[in-house]
Amino acid sequence: MNDLVFSYELIAQDEKARLGKISTPRGVIDTPAFMPVGTLGTVKGIFAEDLLSTGTQVILGNTYHLMIRPGTMTLDLFGGLHNFMNWQKPILTDSGGFQIMSLAKLNKIDINIGAVFSSHLDGKKFVLSPEKSIQIQKSINSDILMVLDECPKMTSEKEKLISAIEISTNWAKRCKTEFGNNKKKALFGIVQGGLDKNLRLDSLEKLTSIGFDGYAMGGLAVGESQEQMFTILNKTVSYMPKNKPRYLMGVGTPSDILGAVKNGIDMFDCVMPTRSGRTGLAFTWAGKVNLRNAKYQNDKSPLDRYTSIRSLNVYSKSYLNHLIKTNEILASMLISLHNINFYQQFMREIRKEIRKGTFNNFYNRYIDKF
């Protein structure tokens, strides 16, 4: 690693859509950026070198799951996740906040302690405190760390949303203290508040007063409609610091990304490309392709005739249809790689259009397809 520090540069803006560059000691992240999800230290079904060939510049790891397996002792032995999984580009880690919500039946929240979990594997008790979350992310050797937050399920109950902001703000302060002063890495705050503009802005104000290297919109993509998500983004994103990256957590589909970029978001992550790949659904410039469909049984055309990554352009839709029907693991590997490659092509086109000042034309051309 060199002597570079973490920084963000806003290069151009087309209305609210932003073109930027995040610099880290492990490499540059061009924004808007999509981060493939590597929950357990692997983007499912894809070799690290193939991720590089798609133009992927950063991936996401999961603090909760990596804490349980392989555990911090193993991660410390390898000097972090980069060496363990053979990925030398930047890694962003979530904090475990999403698992506090998704595994709610297995944990109890205490503002002063953190989340007291029963392991989803063996029932063993452990505490995920704000300090512990940062310590685990340091063992992972993340380049971008997230504060521990309470991410409530979709609700219109103000009391629950206010409580989540109170807990998340308390934990964010403690995370900042535990993180310390490390200019080579970044710590992002997470804005809560559901679909309530005033609560979102209150959460944001509390976080900016603490001071973080970037800010994320949490508590979205948890059951609300796309229209509801876009509405709250439209009302709030412009209030986020202009000179810091803006991250929408857990999003999403190509149309989600288009709408969020239109509202000023810079960073995205989602399991969609690989999860869809494992079910035979491909994303293409012509829209979604369900390769399980019988109409592809004798289709000689490839999903993308212009890419040579892993010779993807020599595999016909007919062959992929056959692999799916015979339950061959190669199907999920090929389609997942295709989908990640498409997502990165998609982000490059978005960046190009913002630079040219023609993003809205691009948005209008493709929003219906996606």
Q: What is the DSSP letter of 152?
A: P
Give the span between the Cα atoms of 331 and 328, in whole angstroms: 6
Question: Do 169 and 206 contact (CB within 8 A), yes or no?
Answer: yes
Give the span between the Cα atoms of 188 and 213, in whole angstroms. 6
- What does the block give as tokens for 85? 């999984």
Q: Is 94 a catalytic residue?
A: yes
Q: Is residue 64 within 8 Å of 114, Cβ to Cβ? A: no
Pairing mode of beta strands 186-191, 144-146: parallel
Alpha helix segments (H runs only) across 96-157: 97-102, 130-140
Which of 50, 202, 256, 269 is catalytic? The answer is 269
Active site residue 269: yes
Whole-angstrom Cα distance, residue 124 to residue 114? 16
Beta strands in 231-296 (DSSP E): 246-248, 267-270, 281-284, 287-290
Q: How far apart are CA 107 and CA 64, in angstroms?
A: 12
> Reduced to 3 states, what is the DSSP secondary structure of residue 294?
helix
User: What angle do helix axes 197-210 and 226-236 make, rounded to 10 degrees?
Assistant: 50
Taking the C-alpha atoms of residue 96 and residue 18, their distance in angstroms, rounded to an integer, is: 28
In whole angstroms, what is the distance from residue 229 CA to residue 98 CA?
A: 18
In the set 14, 50, 94, 266, the catalytic residue is: 94
Pairing of strands 27-31, 17-24: antiparallel
316, β-bridge pairs: 302
- Tell me the C-alpha distance between 81 and 90, whole Å: 10
CA distance 277 to 50: 15
Catalytic site residues? 94, 269
